[in-house]
Amino acid sequence: MSNTVYWILETNIKDGESENLKTLMEELVSSTKENEPGALFYDWSISEDGKKCNILEMYKDSDAVMNHIGIFGKNYAARFMSMLEVKKWVCYGNPDDKVVNALSKLNVFFMKPLGGFQR
């Protein structure tokens, strides 16, 4: 069984924050790619009307998630939350208790693996 942890955040972009969000996204993507080797997949998508942003993130394991949470919390969380309203956050995979406890404070919904495969 894989130890990967991944999630999808569904957000609404707050009025007037589209350009600021693009700048933040570029910073976050660059920082995550350069400083977090356990981040396997990090993808931001925007709706046609520019009002919604979904973020898909995948991490090698729970330690990689906790590393990301620490960096994100220290450097980006306040700006992120000032620009986006989280509508839905679903976590998949096999997070350990540390990750579950950290994300539960943010109203994350957890789905347990039932079946499938990962290459």
Domain range for 24 is 5-110
Mean pLDDT computed over 25-30: 97
d(CA 62, CA 4): 7
Mean of the pLDDT values across residues 99-110? 96
Average pLDDT over residues 2-26: 96
Quick check: is 35 in a domain? yes
The number of domains in the chain is: 1
Please check the confidence at residue 111 and state whether its pLDDT lies above 80: yes
| Structural domain contains residue 41 | yes
Half-sphere exposure of 23 (CA within 13 A, CB side): 6
Q: Please give the Cα distance from 38 to 62 (Å, whole number).
A: 9
pLDDT for the residue numbered 118 = 79
Query: What amino acid occupies position 23?
Result: T
Judge whether 55 lies within some domain.
yes
Distance CA 42, CA 5 (A): 12
Residue 54 has pLDDT above 90, yes or no: yes
Dihedral of alpha carbons 29, 31, 33, 37, sign: negative
Q: At residue 1, does pLDDT exceed 80? A: no
Confidence of residue 89 (pLDDT cuts 50, 70, 90): very high
115 in a domain, yes or no?
no
Q: Is 94 a domain residue?
A: yes
In a domain? residue 116: no
